[in-house]
Structure 1
Amino acid sequence: MSDEVVIFEEVPLRGGRRLGLARLNAPRALNALSRAMIEALDQRLVAWAEDDAIAAVWLEGAGDKAFCAGGDIVALYRAIGEGAEAATAFTSDYFSAEYRLDYRIHAYPKPVVVWGDGIVMGGGLGLMAGASHRLATETTRIAMPEISIGLYPDIGASWFLGRMPPGIGAYLGLTGAQLNARDALDLGLADRLVPREAREALLAALVEADFDTGEAPAVVDAVLDRFEAREQAPAAQLWPHLDHLQSLTARGSLTEAAARILADPSDDSWLAANRGRLAEGCPLSAHLAWTMIQRHRHGSLAQALREELTLSVRCCVEGDLGEGVRALLIDKDKTPRWSHGGLDRVPAAEVEALLRPLWSEESHPLRDL
């Protein structure tokens, strides 16, 4: 097995061009996105964008469990333990690089096909969300689970959650709800359902496609048309409850929405699991998730990423992320001691303080997005 953090291949295509293949290579860590991974992938995407011989890009994760389970929160935890100055430096660098990579995928000039098999959470969804061709399989499991670790939905989620049907993005952010492939298709987080077993045949078909006879996105679409099998998607979890979920979250304040979710008497197992995550989750994270979705409903992705950078750094240095990671992954006692005892105990002034810019417009690390 290769020890490279991302494995890159350039696969010859019919007609002489090539498919750029990138495989996140940390299967034991469910391909959690390390700083080294981010740098390697970003540099190669820049090179492939400028190389006329590269017709399209394929992005996947190693192993059979996850495309990418999220960011490298253990590295963030270690940086937090080194004190405020070290944590600020490390997290500023990490999140700047991650969000720049996410933005690059959104704006990429060539088709990017993401094989979203298995777990796709947090930073993994950041890689998938902006791709031109987002493939789910029958095993896909998508979530923004930050409520459970003391962060908030970042990686541009402040922007794309607010563009879902009213109240649904807020519900996902507050509960960390896990979505399957059918849910991802319904909410626009995936474009196609391709069975896991079809991966090799799909890649072989892309290799045989003639990218010299048409526009690359259309060539990819024509190949995918042959492999899509939406009838193999699992049953929808979210859409049958759409009206109900909107009645919980689409109106009123965070406090009102959270109270309605927690008081929901439904015995549906999916809804009950979501209620449980909100009940046990970080109160500050709930406020930040709600606030950021409201703030970026009518702005640009770049604006959202710039403000997310400030907020993510502050969550590490001043917020609850360290405690959340400790409880979940370090001590594994699953009993985080959040800094606030409930949603009603989070002062509005504290939320506003966390949103105060760390940089001027001229000096912001993501000013050029």
Structure 2
Amino acid sequence: MIGRLSQVFERCRTEDAILAVVLRGGGKKAFCAAGDIRALYGSVRSDATRDKTWLQFFIDEYRVDYAIHNFEKPVVALLDGIAMGGAVWGSPQGAALRIVTERTRMAMPETRIGMLPDVGATNFMGKMPLDMELYVGLTGAMLSGADAVACGLADICVPSPWLCDFVQRLETLHWDGREEAIDSLRRAFVPPANTEVHPQLEAHREQIRAHFSAAGGIESIVRSLQQDTPTDWSTATLANLTSNSPCMLEVTYHALLRGRQLALADCFRMELGIVYRAISEAIS
């Protein structure tokens, strides 16, 4: 998929008749369900790992995602349905307009498999409040479309049926220049006036702020949750954290803090180094 995506964007870049690019899932259920991880796991486990074919996968993925972040033409990402893994934080986060719906279920649960949120996540997650960044990044929490907008990971939440005829709306647009193009594209996706969205995380905002402070690190976060009066949310969050790789939780924690001070390209380099080290040591 990475190779095909690279080819498509190169063609879009060079063809003057193409004014903007829209990314959407190939089926009704998902934008992307992180299926590439299965092939990647097979590559890591096979004899081919001695040739580090898995490393080329990450290099190619990071190159494509970084190119999309710097793409000259406007990119729109339609994150309808399941949106998990690098497909959430990579190419869509480089889009000028990120559209979610009531069907969106967004997550990057890399800490659950001994990895960290990558493809630039340590950079653009840093635009969130620190406590929310740590909560989402460390737990891999599932976000609704409204949650994604509230966290700054999406721009507009629309009813899913509103996307059915978006092509016809795009055909009526006219613009001159990138900024005018983005404004026109936004107007094409603005939902009906009676659309209401309700972020689910808002009910737990104070708990997240209380427990996911940067001071003290992972042990402090876990201890804070253990000492709190048990609720469904705190119990589930604690179980989530304590079932993840302790080592990669620490690595992710420090990478998220460091990424807030780095440029996007430097975050990609940092993440690639961490991924290389994590996988190399796991298979050695």
Same fold (TM over 0.5): yes
TM-score by length of 2: 0.90
> For the residues of structure 2 that align with 1:48 and 1:205, how far apart are their CA atoms?
20
Where do 4+ consecutive residues of structure 1 move more than 6 Å?
none
CA shift in 2, pair 1:169/1:52, >3 Å: same
Higher helix share: 2
Aligned pairs (5 A) from 1:90-129:
90-125=53-88, 126-129=90-93
Residue in structure 2 matching 1:277, options 240, 244, 260? 240
SS, match of residue 34 in structure 2: coil
8 Å Cα contact 1:192-1:230 kept in structure 2: no
1:253 — aligned with what?
217
Aligned pairs (5 A) from 1:1-369:
37-70=1-34, 72-83=36-47, 86=49, 89-125=52-88, 126-211=90-175, 215-225=180-190, 227=191, 231-233=195-197, 235-250=198-213, 251-269=215-233, 271-319=234-282
Deviation at 1:296, TM superposition (A): 1.5
8 Å Cα contact 2:222-2:238 kept in structure 1: no
Deviation at 1:192, TM superposition (A): 0.6
CA shift in 2, pair 1:66/1:107, >3 Å: same
Per-residue deviation, residues 89-134 of structure 1 (Å, max 9, x unmatched): 2122101111111111211111111110111111111221111110
> For the residues of structure 2 that align with 1:70 and 1:179, how far apart are their CA atoms?
16
8 Å Cα contact 1:193-1:230 kept in structure 2: no
| Larger Rg computed on CA atoms | 1
> For the residues of structure 2 that align with 1:279 and 1:262, how far apart are their CA atoms?
11
CA shift in 2, pair 1:262/1:165, >3 Å: same
> For the residues of structure 2 that align with 1:184 and 1:131, how far apart are their CA atoms?
14
> For the residues of structure 2 that align with 1:164 and 1:46, how far apart are their CA atoms?
31
Q: May I ask how many residue pairs the two structures share in their alignment? A: 280
> For the residues of structure 1 that align with 2:138 and 2:124, how far apart are their CA atoms?
15
8 Å Cα contact 1:254-1:290 kept in structure 2: yes
Per-residue deviation, residues 254-291 of structure 1 (Å, max 9, x unmatched): 2112322344434244x543332212111122112101
> For the residues of structure 1 that align with 2:186 and 2:131, how far apart are their CA atoms?
31
CA shift in 2, pair 1:88/1:145, >3 Å: farther
CA shift in 2, pair 1:159/1:258, >3 Å: farther
> For the residues of structure 2 that align with 1:103 and 1:213, how far apart are their CA atoms?
22
SS, match of residue 91 in structure 2: helix
> For the residues of structure 2 that align with 1:116 and 1:264, how far apart are their CA atoms?
35
Letter in 1 for 2:103: T
SS, match of residue 77 in structure 1: helix
> For the residues of structure 2 that align with 1:230 and 1:316, how far apart are their CA atoms?
49
SS, match of residue 19 in structure 2: strand
> What value does the CA root-mean-square deviation take over the aligned residues?
2.2
- Once the two structures are aligned, what percentage of the paired residues are identical? 36
Letter in 2 for 1:256: S
CA shift in 2, pair 1:266/1:231, >3 Å: farther
Letter in 2 for 1:288: V
SS, match of residue 231 in structure 1: coil
8 Å Cα contact 1:87-1:317 kept in structure 2: no
Deviation at 1:65, TM superposition (A): 1.2
Unmatched runs of 5 consecutive residues or more in structure 2: none
Deviation at 1:148, TM superposition (A): 1.4
SS, match of residue 98 in structure 2: strand
SS, match of residue 142 in structure 1: strand
CA shift in 2, pair 1:213/1:183, >3 Å: closer
Letter in 1 for 2:218: L
Moved more, 213-222 or 73-82: 213-222
> For the residues of structure 2 that align with 1:162 and 1:261, how far apart are their CA atoms?
23
> For the residues of structure 2 that align with 1:189 and 1:72, how far apart are their CA atoms?
22
1:338 — aligned with what?
none
CA shift in 2, pair 1:86/1:229, >3 Å: farther
8 Å Cα contact 2:127-2:152 kept in structure 1: no
